[in-house]
Amino acid sequence: MSEPHRFDRGHTDDLMSFLAASPSPYHAVASAAERLEKAGFRQVSETDAWDMEPAADAADAGVTVSAAGSGGRYVLRGGAIVAWYVPEGAAPHTPFRIVGAHTDSPNLRVKPQPDTGAHGWRQVAVEIYGGPLLNSWLDRDLGLSGRLTLRDGSTRLVNVDRPLMRVPQLAIHLDRSVSAEGLKLDKQRHILPIWGLGNDVREGDLIAFLEEEAGLGAGQVTGWDLMTHSVEAPAHLGRDKELVAGPRMDNLLSVHAGVAALTAVAGSDLDCIPVLAAFDHEENGSQSDTGADGPLLGSVLERSVFARGGSFEDRARAFAGTVCLSSDTGHAVHPNYAERHDPTHLPRVNGGPILKVNVNNRYATDGSGRAVFAAACEKANVPFQSFVSNNSMPCGTTIGPITAARHGIKTVDIGVAILSMHSARELCGADDPHLLANALVAFLQG
Protein backbone atom coordinates (compact mmCIF):
# COMPACT_ATOMS: atom_id res chain seq x y z
CA MET A 1 0.00 0.00 0.00
CA SER A 2 1.42 3.38 -0.98
CA GLU A 3 1.89 5.86 1.84
CA PRO A 4 -0.65 8.71 1.45
CA HIS A 5 0.21 12.32 2.04
CA ARG A 6 0.67 13.14 5.72
CA PHE A 7 -1.02 16.39 6.69
CA ASP A 8 0.66 19.21 8.60
CA ARG A 9 -0.07 22.86 9.41
CA GLY A 10 -0.68 23.48 5.71
CA HIS A 11 -3.89 21.48 6.15
CA THR A 12 -5.04 24.01 8.77
CA ASP A 13 -4.32 26.88 6.40
CA ASP A 14 -6.42 25.09 3.78
CA LEU A 15 -9.19 24.64 6.35
CA MET A 16 -9.34 28.41 6.75
CA SER A 17 -9.84 28.78 3.00
CA PHE A 18 -12.54 26.09 3.08
CA LEU A 19 -14.40 27.88 5.90
CA ALA A 20 -14.28 31.20 4.05
CA ALA A 21 -15.60 29.60 0.84
CA SER A 22 -18.44 27.77 2.63
CA PRO A 23 -20.82 30.24 4.31
CA SER A 24 -23.82 27.88 3.91
CA PRO A 25 -24.30 24.09 3.72
CA TYR A 26 -24.91 24.45 -0.03
CA HIS A 27 -21.58 26.21 -0.50
CA ALA A 28 -19.87 23.65 1.75
CA VAL A 29 -20.92 20.70 -0.41
CA ALA A 30 -20.01 22.65 -3.55
CA SER A 31 -16.55 23.29 -2.08
CA ALA A 32 -16.22 19.61 -1.16
CA ALA A 33 -17.34 18.50 -4.63
CA GLU A 34 -14.79 20.79 -6.28
CA ARG A 35 -12.00 19.19 -4.26
CA LEU A 36 -13.28 15.70 -5.02
CA GLU A 37 -13.43 16.46 -8.74
CA LYS A 38 -9.82 17.58 -8.69
CA ALA A 39 -8.94 14.22 -7.12
CA GLY A 40 -10.70 12.31 -9.92
CA PHE A 41 -14.08 11.69 -8.28
CA ARG A 42 -17.16 12.05 -10.48
CA GLN A 43 -20.73 12.96 -9.61
CA VAL A 44 -23.49 10.40 -10.16
CA SER A 45 -27.17 11.22 -10.30
CA GLU A 46 -29.69 9.61 -7.97
CA THR A 47 -32.24 9.54 -10.80
CA ASP A 48 -30.01 7.45 -13.11
CA ALA A 49 -29.68 3.68 -13.05
CA TRP A 50 -26.52 2.66 -11.20
CA ASP A 51 -25.92 -0.68 -12.89
CA MET A 52 -24.55 0.72 -16.15
CA GLU A 53 -21.13 -0.02 -17.54
CA PRO A 54 -18.57 2.67 -16.67
CA ALA A 55 -18.54 5.47 -19.23
CA ALA A 56 -15.10 6.08 -20.76
CA ASP A 57 -13.87 9.67 -20.37
CA ALA A 58 -17.32 10.53 -19.06
CA ALA A 59 -16.43 13.88 -17.57
CA ASP A 60 -14.83 15.08 -20.82
CA ALA A 61 -17.52 13.64 -23.08
CA GLY A 62 -20.39 15.12 -21.07
CA VAL A 63 -22.15 11.75 -20.69
CA THR A 64 -23.67 10.07 -17.67
CA VAL A 65 -21.14 8.74 -15.17
CA SER A 66 -21.76 5.21 -13.95
CA ALA A 67 -21.79 4.25 -10.28
CA ALA A 68 -20.63 0.75 -11.21
CA GLY A 69 -16.99 -0.23 -11.37
CA SER A 70 -14.00 1.10 -9.46
CA GLY A 71 -13.08 4.71 -8.79
CA GLY A 72 -14.38 7.70 -6.89
CA ARG A 73 -18.01 8.81 -6.99
CA TYR A 74 -20.19 11.27 -5.11
CA VAL A 75 -23.85 12.20 -4.75
CA LEU A 76 -25.09 15.72 -4.00
CA ARG A 77 -28.47 16.35 -2.44
CA GLY A 78 -29.17 19.88 -1.19
CA GLY A 79 -26.72 20.62 1.62
CA ALA A 80 -25.52 17.01 1.88
CA ILE A 81 -22.86 15.00 0.07
CA VAL A 82 -21.94 11.31 0.12
CA ALA A 83 -18.66 10.35 -1.58
CA TRP A 84 -16.96 6.95 -1.85
CA TYR A 85 -14.03 5.23 -3.51
CA VAL A 86 -14.30 1.66 -4.83
CA PRO A 87 -10.89 -0.05 -5.12
CA GLU A 88 -10.18 -2.14 -8.20
CA GLY A 89 -11.71 -5.59 -7.86
CA ALA A 90 -13.74 -4.82 -4.71
CA ALA A 91 -16.31 -7.55 -4.04
CA PRO A 92 -19.97 -6.58 -3.56
CA HIS A 93 -19.78 -7.59 0.12
CA THR A 94 -16.72 -5.40 0.80
CA PRO A 95 -17.36 -3.43 4.02
CA PHE A 96 -17.40 0.36 4.19
CA ARG A 97 -15.32 2.66 6.35
CA ILE A 98 -17.34 5.85 6.83
CA VAL A 99 -16.46 9.32 8.10
CA GLY A 100 -19.70 11.03 9.07
CA ALA A 101 -20.05 14.78 9.62
CA HIS A 102 -22.52 17.61 9.11
CA THR A 103 -22.50 20.75 6.99
CA ASP A 104 -24.89 23.01 8.91
CA SER A 105 -24.15 25.47 11.73
CA PRO A 106 -26.41 27.54 14.01
CA ASN A 107 -27.24 30.91 12.53
CA LEU A 108 -30.02 33.32 11.55
CA ARG A 109 -32.11 32.29 8.55
CA VAL A 110 -34.35 34.42 6.35
CA LYS A 111 -38.12 34.01 6.72
CA PRO A 112 -40.55 33.54 3.78
CA GLN A 113 -41.58 37.19 3.99
CA PRO A 114 -38.22 38.80 4.74
CA ASP A 115 -38.92 42.51 4.26
CA THR A 116 -39.69 44.37 7.46
CA GLY A 117 -38.61 47.40 9.45
CA ALA A 118 -39.61 50.17 11.84
CA HIS A 119 -38.86 53.79 12.70
CA GLY A 120 -36.95 54.50 9.51
CA TRP A 121 -34.85 51.33 9.61
CA ARG A 122 -35.11 48.65 6.93
CA GLN A 123 -34.71 45.19 8.45
CA VAL A 124 -34.75 41.51 7.50
CA ALA A 125 -37.08 39.04 9.20
CA VAL A 126 -35.05 36.06 10.40
CA GLU A 127 -35.70 32.80 12.20
CA ILE A 128 -33.19 31.26 14.60
CA TYR A 129 -31.68 28.03 13.27
CA GLY A 130 -30.35 25.50 15.76
CA GLY A 131 -28.94 26.70 19.06
CA PRO A 132 -26.66 29.67 18.40
CA LEU A 133 -25.02 31.80 21.08
CA LEU A 134 -27.24 34.75 20.20
CA ASN A 135 -25.01 37.36 21.81
CA SER A 136 -22.22 36.38 19.39
CA TRP A 137 -24.34 37.64 16.48
CA LEU A 138 -24.72 41.14 17.93
CA ASP A 139 -22.75 44.09 16.55
CA ARG A 140 -21.11 41.84 13.96
CA ASP A 141 -20.94 42.64 10.24
CA LEU A 142 -23.02 40.01 8.48
CA GLY A 143 -23.25 38.77 4.92
CA LEU A 144 -26.03 36.72 3.35
CA SER A 145 -25.66 33.41 1.57
CA GLY A 146 -27.52 30.29 0.54
CA ARG A 147 -29.55 28.87 -2.32
CA LEU A 148 -32.02 30.49 -4.71
CA THR A 149 -34.58 28.36 -6.55
CA LEU A 150 -35.68 29.62 -9.96
CA ARG A 151 -38.94 29.31 -11.87
CA ASP A 152 -37.59 26.42 -13.94
CA GLY A 153 -36.73 24.44 -10.78
CA SER A 154 -32.97 24.98 -11.05
CA THR A 155 -30.96 26.40 -8.19
CA ARG A 156 -28.30 29.07 -7.93
CA LEU A 157 -25.89 29.69 -5.07
CA VAL A 158 -25.61 33.24 -3.82
CA ASN A 159 -23.04 34.74 -1.47
CA VAL A 160 -23.03 38.40 -0.50
CA ASP A 161 -19.74 38.25 1.37
CA ARG A 162 -19.46 41.84 2.49
CA PRO A 163 -20.93 43.88 5.37
CA LEU A 164 -24.63 43.91 4.49
CA MET A 165 -26.48 43.53 7.78
CA ARG A 166 -26.00 44.03 11.50
CA VAL A 167 -27.94 43.20 14.67
CA PRO A 168 -27.25 46.22 16.88
CA GLN A 169 -27.12 45.74 20.64
CA LEU A 170 -28.92 48.16 22.91
CA ALA A 171 -26.57 50.78 24.34
CA ILE A 172 -25.66 50.28 27.99
CA HIS A 173 -27.17 53.68 28.82
CA LEU A 174 -30.58 52.20 27.95
CA ASP A 175 -29.97 48.92 29.78
CA ARG A 176 -28.05 49.74 32.96
CA SER A 177 -28.55 46.27 34.45
CA VAL A 178 -26.98 44.32 31.60
CA SER A 179 -23.52 44.02 33.16
CA ALA A 180 -24.83 42.80 36.52
CA GLU A 181 -27.82 40.72 35.45
CA GLY A 182 -26.71 39.51 32.04
CA LEU A 183 -28.02 40.10 28.55
CA LYS A 184 -31.63 39.11 27.98
CA LEU A 185 -32.69 38.77 24.35
CA ASP A 186 -36.19 38.23 23.02
CA LYS A 187 -35.75 35.97 19.99
CA GLN A 188 -38.64 37.60 18.11
CA ARG A 189 -37.99 41.28 18.82
CA HIS A 190 -34.28 41.72 19.41
CA ILE A 191 -32.57 39.69 16.65
CA LEU A 192 -33.79 41.52 13.53
CA PRO A 193 -30.80 42.70 11.46
CA ILE A 194 -30.84 46.14 9.90
CA TRP A 195 -29.71 46.52 6.30
CA GLY A 196 -30.66 50.05 5.34
CA LEU A 197 -32.82 53.10 5.85
CA GLY A 198 -36.33 53.84 4.67
CA ASN A 199 -39.77 54.59 6.00
CA ASP A 200 -41.60 52.15 3.73
CA VAL A 201 -41.32 48.37 3.75
CA ARG A 202 -41.12 47.25 0.14
CA GLU A 203 -42.24 43.65 -0.31
CA GLY A 204 -39.82 41.69 -2.48
CA ASP A 205 -36.97 44.14 -1.95
CA LEU A 206 -34.48 41.67 -0.46
CA ILE A 207 -35.05 38.99 -3.09
CA ALA A 208 -34.86 41.59 -5.87
CA PHE A 209 -31.51 42.68 -4.44
CA LEU A 210 -30.26 39.07 -4.43
CA GLU A 211 -31.46 38.49 -7.99
CA GLU A 212 -29.32 41.41 -9.05
CA GLU A 213 -26.35 40.12 -7.01
CA ALA A 214 -26.66 36.69 -8.67
CA GLY A 215 -27.00 38.14 -12.17
CA LEU A 216 -30.62 36.99 -12.52
CA GLY A 217 -33.57 38.72 -14.11
CA ALA A 218 -36.31 40.26 -12.01
CA GLY A 219 -38.91 37.77 -10.82
CA GLN A 220 -36.85 34.65 -11.60
CA VAL A 221 -36.51 33.57 -7.96
CA THR A 222 -39.50 31.73 -6.53
CA GLY A 223 -37.88 30.03 -3.51
CA TRP A 224 -34.93 30.57 -1.23
CA ASP A 225 -32.91 29.07 1.62
CA LEU A 226 -30.88 31.99 2.93
CA MET A 227 -28.82 32.59 6.05
CA THR A 228 -26.51 35.10 7.66
CA HIS A 229 -22.78 34.65 8.14
CA SER A 230 -20.01 36.68 9.71
CA VAL A 231 -17.85 38.30 7.02
CA GLU A 232 -14.78 38.38 9.25
CA ALA A 233 -12.20 36.03 7.74
CA PRO A 234 -10.73 33.06 9.64
CA ALA A 235 -7.41 33.97 11.24
CA HIS A 236 -4.52 32.58 13.24
CA LEU A 237 -4.55 33.78 16.84
CA GLY A 238 -2.08 33.87 19.69
CA ARG A 239 1.51 34.91 20.26
CA ASP A 240 2.82 31.91 18.35
CA LYS A 241 -0.22 31.54 16.08
CA GLU A 242 -1.03 28.21 17.74
CA LEU A 243 -4.78 28.89 17.59
CA VAL A 244 -7.30 29.48 14.81
CA ALA A 245 -10.43 31.61 15.11
CA GLY A 246 -13.17 31.28 12.53
CA PRO A 247 -16.80 30.54 11.74
CA ARG A 248 -18.60 27.21 11.29
CA MET A 249 -15.85 24.99 12.71
CA ASP A 250 -18.81 23.05 14.08
CA ASN A 251 -18.75 21.15 11.87
CA LEU A 252 -16.99 22.12 8.65
CA LEU A 253 -13.70 21.29 10.35
CA SER A 254 -14.75 17.63 10.19
CA VAL A 255 -16.15 17.91 6.65
CA HIS A 256 -12.86 19.39 5.44
CA ALA A 257 -10.82 16.70 7.21
CA GLY A 258 -13.07 13.99 5.77
CA VAL A 259 -12.64 15.27 2.21
CA ALA A 260 -8.88 15.50 2.67
CA ALA A 261 -8.65 11.99 4.10
CA LEU A 262 -10.87 10.42 1.43
CA THR A 263 -8.92 11.96 -1.44
CA ALA A 264 -5.66 10.92 0.24
CA VAL A 265 -6.58 7.23 0.32
CA ALA A 266 -8.26 7.14 -3.11
CA GLY A 267 -6.17 5.07 -5.48
CA SER A 268 -4.74 2.92 -2.71
CA ASP A 269 -5.03 -0.86 -2.55
CA LEU A 270 -7.70 -1.16 0.14
CA ASP A 271 -9.69 -3.97 1.75
CA CYS A 272 -12.63 -1.64 2.40
CA ILE A 273 -14.58 1.10 0.63
CA PRO A 274 -13.84 4.51 2.19
CA VAL A 275 -16.83 6.87 2.42
CA LEU A 276 -17.50 10.47 3.42
CA ALA A 277 -21.08 11.27 4.46
CA ALA A 278 -21.68 14.94 5.27
CA PHE A 279 -25.29 15.63 6.23
CA ASP A 280 -27.40 18.75 6.67
CA HIS A 281 -29.75 19.61 9.57
CA GLU A 282 -27.78 18.04 12.41
CA GLU A 283 -28.31 21.17 14.48
CA ASN A 284 -32.08 20.68 14.55
CA GLY A 285 -32.42 16.91 14.83
CA SER A 286 -31.28 15.44 11.49
CA GLN A 287 -34.83 14.60 10.42
CA SER A 288 -34.89 15.57 6.76
CA ASP A 289 -34.16 14.04 3.37
CA THR A 290 -30.61 15.40 3.68
CA GLY A 291 -30.18 14.66 7.38
CA ALA A 292 -28.52 11.69 9.06
CA ASP A 293 -31.93 10.39 10.16
CA GLY A 294 -33.07 10.26 6.54
CA PRO A 295 -32.49 7.51 3.97
CA LEU A 296 -29.65 9.12 2.00
CA LEU A 297 -26.66 7.21 3.35
CA GLY A 298 -28.37 3.82 3.39
CA SER A 299 -29.68 4.33 -0.12
CA VAL A 300 -26.25 5.27 -1.51
CA LEU A 301 -24.46 2.37 0.19
CA GLU A 302 -27.07 -0.18 -0.89
CA ARG A 303 -27.09 1.05 -4.47
CA SER A 304 -23.29 0.86 -4.53
CA VAL A 305 -23.48 -2.80 -3.48
CA PHE A 306 -26.15 -3.62 -6.06
CA ALA A 307 -24.36 -1.67 -8.83
CA ARG A 308 -21.41 -4.03 -8.37
CA GLY A 309 -23.65 -7.04 -8.89
CA GLY A 310 -24.37 -7.65 -5.20
CA SER A 311 -27.42 -9.22 -3.60
CA PHE A 312 -29.28 -8.42 -0.39
CA GLU A 313 -27.02 -10.96 1.30
CA ASP A 314 -23.98 -9.01 0.06
CA ARG A 315 -25.52 -5.82 1.39
CA ALA A 316 -26.07 -7.42 4.80
CA ARG A 317 -22.49 -8.71 4.90
CA ALA A 318 -21.09 -5.32 3.90
CA PHE A 319 -23.08 -3.46 6.54
CA ALA A 320 -22.16 -5.98 9.23
CA GLY A 321 -18.47 -5.29 8.66
CA THR A 322 -18.84 -1.51 8.32
CA VAL A 323 -17.56 1.04 10.85
CA CYS A 324 -18.43 4.75 10.96
CA LEU A 325 -16.51 7.52 12.71
CA SER A 326 -19.01 10.25 13.54
CA SER A 327 -16.71 13.27 13.58
CA ASP A 328 -18.02 16.43 15.24
CA THR A 329 -16.47 19.16 17.35
CA GLY A 330 -16.50 18.82 21.13
CA HIS A 331 -15.71 20.94 24.15
CA ALA A 332 -12.15 21.81 25.13
CA VAL A 333 -11.68 22.65 28.79
CA HIS A 334 -12.50 26.33 29.28
CA PRO A 335 -9.96 28.09 31.51
CA ASN A 336 -12.62 30.40 32.97
CA TYR A 337 -15.23 27.69 33.56
CA ALA A 338 -13.25 24.54 34.35
CA GLU A 339 -15.89 23.48 36.90
CA ARG A 340 -18.36 22.89 34.05
CA HIS A 341 -16.25 19.98 32.78
CA ASP A 342 -15.71 16.50 34.18
CA PRO A 343 -12.68 16.88 36.47
CA THR A 344 -10.96 13.74 35.12
CA HIS A 345 -11.64 14.45 31.44
CA LEU A 346 -10.29 17.84 30.43
CA PRO A 347 -9.50 17.87 26.69
CA ARG A 348 -7.01 20.50 25.62
CA VAL A 349 -6.61 22.15 22.24
CA ASN A 350 -3.69 20.80 20.19
CA GLY A 351 -3.87 17.61 22.26
CA GLY A 352 -5.21 15.56 19.38
CA PRO A 353 -8.74 14.46 18.48
CA ILE A 354 -11.20 13.51 21.19
CA LEU A 355 -13.08 10.25 21.68
CA LYS A 356 -16.61 11.01 22.94
CA VAL A 357 -18.25 8.64 25.40
CA ASN A 358 -21.69 8.69 27.02
CA VAL A 359 -23.15 5.54 28.57
CA ASN A 360 -26.70 6.76 27.87
CA ASN A 361 -25.99 6.64 24.12
CA ARG A 362 -25.90 10.36 23.48
CA TYR A 363 -22.67 9.29 21.79
CA ALA A 364 -22.41 5.93 20.03
CA THR A 365 -18.94 4.93 21.28
CA ASP A 366 -18.49 1.65 23.13
CA GLY A 367 -15.37 -0.26 24.16
CA SER A 368 -14.94 -2.02 20.83
CA GLY A 369 -15.38 1.28 19.00
CA ARG A 370 -12.75 2.86 21.21
CA ALA A 371 -10.36 0.11 20.16
CA VAL A 372 -10.99 0.89 16.47
CA PHE A 373 -10.20 4.57 16.94
CA ALA A 374 -7.21 3.86 19.18
CA ALA A 375 -5.77 1.59 16.49
CA ALA A 376 -6.20 4.29 13.82
CA CYS A 377 -4.53 6.91 16.00
CA GLU A 378 -1.66 4.56 16.85
CA LYS A 379 -1.16 3.78 13.16
CA ALA A 380 -1.13 7.50 12.34
CA ASN A 381 1.07 8.35 15.34
CA VAL A 382 -1.61 10.77 16.53
CA PRO A 383 -2.44 11.32 20.22
CA PHE A 384 -6.08 11.29 21.27
CA GLN A 385 -8.07 12.36 24.32
CA SER A 386 -11.29 11.18 25.94
CA PHE A 387 -14.34 13.35 26.56
CA VAL A 388 -17.31 12.77 28.83
CA SER A 389 -19.76 15.34 30.12
CA ASN A 390 -19.95 16.50 33.72
CA ASN A 391 -22.59 14.29 35.38
CA SER A 392 -24.41 17.37 36.62
CA MET A 393 -24.92 18.77 33.12
CA PRO A 394 -26.91 17.43 30.16
CA CYS A 395 -24.91 15.90 27.33
CA GLY A 396 -25.30 16.93 23.71
CA THR A 397 -25.55 14.43 20.90
CA THR A 398 -24.44 13.89 17.30
CA ILE A 399 -25.27 11.94 14.16
CA GLY A 400 -23.47 8.98 15.75
CA PRO A 401 -26.36 7.29 17.61
CA ILE A 402 -28.69 8.03 14.68
CA THR A 403 -26.32 6.36 12.20
CA ALA A 404 -25.81 3.34 14.43
CA ALA A 405 -29.52 2.80 15.04
CA ARG A 406 -30.78 3.54 11.53
CA HIS A 407 -28.27 1.43 9.61
CA GLY A 408 -27.07 -1.14 12.14
CA ILE A 409 -23.52 0.12 11.68
CA LYS A 410 -20.87 0.16 14.40
CA THR A 411 -20.32 3.85 15.08
CA VAL A 412 -17.73 5.73 17.12
CA ASP A 413 -18.07 9.40 18.11
CA ILE A 414 -14.94 11.51 17.80
CA GLY A 415 -14.00 15.09 16.94
CA VAL A 416 -11.80 18.07 17.71
CA ALA A 417 -11.99 20.03 20.97
CA ILE A 418 -12.87 23.71 20.50
CA LEU A 419 -14.00 26.73 22.53
CA SER A 420 -17.03 28.95 21.87
CA MET A 421 -19.06 26.19 20.23
CA HIS A 422 -22.17 27.58 18.46
CA SER A 423 -20.74 31.08 18.47
CA ALA A 424 -20.62 33.04 15.23
CA ARG A 425 -16.85 32.67 15.62
CA GLU A 426 -15.27 29.63 17.26
CA LEU A 427 -11.72 28.76 18.40
CA CYS A 428 -9.57 25.67 17.87
CA GLY A 429 -5.92 24.68 18.06
CA ALA A 430 -3.92 25.04 14.87
CA ASP A 431 -2.57 21.46 15.11
CA ASP A 432 -5.82 19.60 15.82
CA PRO A 433 -7.30 19.83 12.29
CA HIS A 434 -4.35 18.07 10.68
CA LEU A 435 -4.06 15.57 13.55
CA LEU A 436 -7.71 14.65 12.94
CA ALA A 437 -7.13 14.33 9.18
CA ASN A 438 -4.18 11.99 9.72
CA ALA A 439 -6.24 9.81 12.07
CA LEU A 440 -9.04 9.67 9.49
CA VAL A 441 -6.60 8.59 6.79
CA ALA A 442 -5.45 5.66 8.94
CA PHE A 443 -9.05 4.74 9.73
CA LEU A 444 -10.16 4.83 6.07
CA GLN A 445 -7.27 2.59 5.08
CA GLY A 446 -8.90 -0.17 7.16
Q: Which residues are annotated as a binding site for Zn(2+)?
A: 102, 173, 422
Beta bridge partners of 165: 142
Contact assessment for residue 276 and residue 81, using Cβ atoms and an 8 Å cutoff: yes
Would you say 24 and 227 are in contact if contact means Cβ atoms under 8 Å apart?
Answer: yes
**162: Cβ contacts below 8 Å, ≥ 6 apart:** 143, 231
- Cβ within 8 Å of residue 131, ≥6 positions away: 106, 283, 422
User: Is the omega angle on the peptide bond into residue 438 within 30 degrees of 0, that is, cis?
Assistant: no
Q: For residues 415 and 400, give the distance between their C-alpha atoms in angstroms, rounded to a whole number.
A: 11
Annotated binding site: 102, 173, 422
